[in-house]
Amino acid sequence: MTVLEKEMILPNGSILKNRIAKSAMSENLSNKNNEPTATLIELYKKWAQSGAGLLITGNIMIDSKAIGEPRNVVVENRKNFGMLKEWAESVKGTNTQLWAQINHPGRQAMEPINKDLKAPSAVPLKSGGRKNATKKIPIALSESQILAIIESFGNTAIILKDAGFTGVQIHGAHGYLVSQFLSPYTNIRSDKWGGSLENRARFVIEVYRKIRSKVGRSFPIGIKLNSADFQKGGFSEEESIEVVKILSKEGIDLIEISGGTYEAPAMMGKRKKSTIIREVYFMDYIEKARKITTTPLMLTGGFRTASVMKDNVASNQVDIIGIARPFALYPNIGNEIFNKSQTNFNTKIKKTGVKGIDGAMNIIWYEAQIKRLGKGKAPKPDLNPWLVFIKYSWLILETKLIRNKKTSFNKL
Ligand SMILES: Cc1cc2nc3c(=O)[nH]c(=O)nc-3n(C[C@H](O)[C@H](O)[C@H](O)COP(=O)(O)O)c2cc1C
């Protein structure tokens, strides 16, 4: 047995059967009404057989008025409880934990498909890692709107717990709302929600406490947190370490480390080569975090070889290995790592050669592979990127039309 196969006991006593986790990947597989679908459930049945100890869903939106992508699942009430239960049951009999990642995109909500954008402050997105990232000025949230969003995080979490998910993860990374509050670049508020780190961290702490009050102590809560924004004037490494200290003290069960925003997509490896240590991103940060917390740490970004994964757990730097893109191309990756039938999980992506489009390809090409898995098909490494782009553009247009129609209908 290698270190990767050893179980991990989380602070609340819940157990992950091994050290391999599928990190969140937006599946973009809801139906037109942002409800879970059979394809999505089939996908998770497949991944449940991957051998991973933990599967974290793609980001589930807590508010239908703020969605990141056309086909994100939204959970804001119990309307689709039956389908959510089926989704949670996809891991049945495998002893694999299935955690739901919950998110509010804030100013990174996709402009064409959202009426307004809400954010801590009216700081617009400059340019995007994705073609359709918005440049619209967001509306700064009022105090009562902030409190309502905190309530919504708790509401979504308890619905998912009741449906049978075995944990939740707060999306506190990648420039979405929680990370917008943390960052002095996007949060320029002068009330108790902005300014000092203590004030900027208030939102994530209140979200955590609200969820905890709803789900209880025995239900795992994790967070995906930026090691930094990788932007001038943004959330820094030193501040991130302070937030790790705070959340550890609060009793969070797992901290996953990533980094970057749509404006600086470090999570996808867009960083200086010198800061990528032996294929892994954010390694320098995790060494510092390890020294100041005993909370289990998961690191995501760049893991591609079984030996590097093993070394990182063996040297005690990381507790859980977070893997995203390889799960789209090697859906049996956990078992392959453990039985050593495959040691290298390269992800070479097909590109169009057009810079603006290829930024988005890093996401949408993988989503197309994920959809194939949900449809019971094998991954297709030579999948045509142009086809992917055209289909995705159509999806945005279609969603825009549907949402506009709904809005005008509601006005009648
Ligand atoms: C298709 C796709 C969708 C993603 N969606 C999410 C998401 O919903 N939530 C999240 O925290 N990260 C998301 N990510 C980022 C990954 O979780 C991960 O941080 C990143 O891909 C780096 O890990 P990797 O090198 O193992 O792929 C997504 C990545 C991809 C490729």
Distance from the CA of 23 to the center of ligand 1, in angstroms?
Answer: 7
| Cα–Cα distance, 254 to 319 (Å, whole number) | 9
- 347-375 per-position pLDDT tens digit: 988 889 998 888 888 899 999 999 999 99
- Please name which of 8, 23, 19 lies closest in space to residue 301, comparing C-alpha atoms: 23
At 341 the pLDDT is 97
Instruction: Name the closest-CA residue to atom 11, ligand 1.
Output: 24
All domains of the chain, ordered by start, with CATH?
3-411 (3.20.20.70)
Instruction: Name the closest-CA residue to atom 13, ligand 1.
Output: 25
Phi and psi, residue 271, nearest 5°:
-145, 175
Query: Three-state SS across 80-102?
Result: CHHHHHHHHHHHCCCCCEEEEEE
The answer to whether 223 and 204 have CB atoms below 8 angstroms apart is yes
- Which atom of ligand 1 is closest in space to residue 366's alpha carbon? 1
- Which atom of ligand 1 is closest in space to residue 322's alpha carbon? 26
At 122 the pLDDT is 96
At 133 the pLDDT is 47
The answer to whether 231 and 198 have CB atoms below 8 angstroms apart is no
Which parts of the chain sit beneath pLDDT 70? 127-135, 271, 274-275, 406-412
Residues 6+ apart with CB under 8 A from 109: 66, 67, 68, 117, 118, 134
Map tokens 């091994």 to a residue. Answer: 18
User: How far, CA to CA in Å, does 181 sit from each of 96, 174, 215, 227, 238?
Assistant: 33, 12, 24, 15, 16
- 113-153 per-position pLDDT tens digit: 899 999 999 999 986 544 444 468 999 999 999 999 999 99
Substitution candidate for ligand 1 out of 43, 57, 267 with most atoms within 8 A of CB: 267
Ligand 1 surroundings by CB, under 6 angstroms: 23-26, 58-59, 101, 171, 173-174, 224, 258, 267-268, 300-303, 323-325, 363, 366-367
Beta strand pairing call for 60-61 and 97-103: parallel
Element (H, E) at 159: helix 143-163
At 270 the pLDDT is 75
pTM over 0.85? The answer is yes
At 330 the pLDDT is 98
| Cα–Cα distance, 50 to 58 (Å, whole number) | 17
Residues 6+ apart with CB under 8 A from 319: 8, 19, 296, 297, 298, 313
> Angle at CA 138, nearest 5°, toward 135 and 143?
165
